[in-house]
Chain A
């Protein structure tokens, strides 16, 4: 039997990052993700890594820029208002193509908002967030184990594509405790830096520059196209999606992250009552699993799709774009830090069936 450990989502992310080769963490306290920097402050020195509690989120993301630019596996974590502060740095990181990982344990907003779980940063995460044309690889895990699994390989993806990877969780996922299987430590003993990294070596190579400034319009346009070619490749190779009982479903519910867990329970309850209901859950929020939604929209048994979110309706826009008018797309959401129950969802679906 595999060894299982009981861990909070936040702790699992921190441990998975270490095991996935992270050797530098820069962060600033904000609820509800404080377990990540706290865990890192203890764990990072044990593996010979760097931990700094920075003076601000702005400084933290720029420390990630510096360390990541030298080819080191560096990350930061925060929650909504803190992620807003990091947007400047994230834009520069995307422009300069620096691999790194950013965790957002989303809380409700806007403004200072509240500290309870929400999914109101979906737009910010998948549409860019800061200035300029850019995207990140965005994961929306739904369990502590999935946090661990996605985080464990996040740096490999970040370095493969030279992009930031964002783990988009929420306050609930960060705080919930579940049994997890720990992956083995990745071997980081050989300090091999990529051929673009500004590792400082002076002799035997051209000097390298990490930069996002392009004064010539043609040059910058080429950079924009290069970035988007990368995103197209990601869409082809990295898109992840879960479909649950959709084959004969008349109503397909869609949700991501922890909400998808509640939706799954609702689907089971509805199935027990004889209703043909299924669920589709994007695991990568960018690239969005458009093809899966297209397929569902084209199924003759499917009458309607309903997006269920902890927001006023954000992911629903991508769902509608994917469904492309083929089927009606309804919405049910709670916000302000309120979380719907499975019974609430069942009631919403039954309203549709009338």
Chain B
């Protein structure tokens, strides 16, 4: 018998602190396995502020912990001065789509040759379930307890669609983690986003629809169902930009 599935080498032995059923763990594994496949000599990751703040304990490579929302700027500083290293930023929706909107837009516009993994779970996890820029209309959060209203809070931000309007990015795809089929698709997208960087193609971002059972007040299985039934409706999956295809 040979091993058909094992923990990627890019992950340390530190157990994840995430809540039961949280998608972060699945995405960490996919990121680590994508980097394993590249077999890169040099890798530097950038951790966000949010639930994934301790990502520097989990990835078995040099890591920098960025200020809230600034990961794309930090990654830019790293990549420009270390072009031979694989550089990735791992960010949540509050980090990337709210406080860090300027940094992600400009990193994408400059087509920084980095890989960004964007976790969209439509809520602030670490701080305890407040409204995120991706919280959907009607969705309840601790700062919109009757549900997000258009009058008060405006509309959620569709990051992938928005960034795809820029000329800079090379590859932007939205994937989900709600079942095996979609996790496998997500794996392919994340592999691709890292391969693009290794090939010097420029900015790649994968938006991953993720569950937050704790702050949604659901059990892990219902949370995944909610990703499938509610989130995928508002945030359609698919490739929003792929310069390799456009060239063909």
Footprint of B on A, CB under 8 Å?
23-24, 26, 50, 52, 54-56, 58-60, 62-70, 72, 74, 88-89, 92, 96, 198-203, 207-213
Contact = CB atoms under 8 A, between A and B. Distances in A.
Interface stretch (B60-68, B115-123, B146-154, B187-195): B60-68
B61 A66 contact: no
A88 B78 CA distance: 19
A201 B41 contact: yes
A210 B106 contact: no
A24 B46 CA distance: 19
Q: Which 4 A-B pairs have the closest CB atoms?
A: A66-B77, A200-B42, A63-B77, A198-B62
B73 A201 contact: no
A55 B82 CA distance: 21
Interface in B81-96: 81-82, 84-87
B77 A207 contact: no
A88 B106 contact: no
A207 B56 CA distance: 9
B62 A199 contact: yes
A207 B61 contact: yes
A66 B76 contact: yes
Contact of B61 (A200, A210, A212): A200
Contacts of B61: 200, 202, 207
A98 to B, nearest CB: 9
Nearest to B79: A66
Nearest to B57: A209
Interface residues of B, number: 38
A168 to B, nearest CB: 23
Interface string B21-46: 00000000000000000001111101
A50 B64 contact: no
B81 A89 contact: no
Contact of B64 (A56, A60, A88, A211): A211
A67 B80 contact: yes
B67 A70 contact: no
B74 A66 contact: yes
B75 interface: yes
A59 B81 contact: no
B166 interface: no
B41 A202 contact: yes
Contact of A69 (B12, B73, B76, B78): B78
5 contacts: A52-B80, A62-B67, A72-B81, A199-B42, A202-B62
B81 A201 contact: no
Interface in B186-212: none
Contacts of A72: 81-82
Interface in B159-204: none
B77 A198 contact: no
B102 interface: yes
A70 B61 CA distance: 13
A1 to B, nearest CB: 39
Nearest to A91: B67
Most buried by B among A58, A64, A70, A96: A70
B85 A200 contact: yes
A66 B73 contact: yes
Contacts of A24: 77, 80-81
A154 B24 CA distance: 42
Contact of B73 (A58, A199, A203): A58
Contacts of A211: 56, 63-65
Given A52-B80, A62-B103, A202 B66 contact: no
Contacts of B65: 96, 209-213
A50 B81 contact: yes
B46 to A, nearest CB: 7
Contacts of B41: 200-203
Contacts of A74: 77, 81
B80 A50 contact: yes
Contact of A198 (B40, B64, B80, B86): B64
A26 to B, nearest CB: 7
B53 interface: yes
Nearest to A69: B64
A209 to B, nearest CB: 5
A118 to B, nearest CB: 28
Nearest to A197: B62
Nearest to B63: A209
A199 to B, nearest CB: 7
A210 B64 contact: yes
A203 B61 CA distance: 9
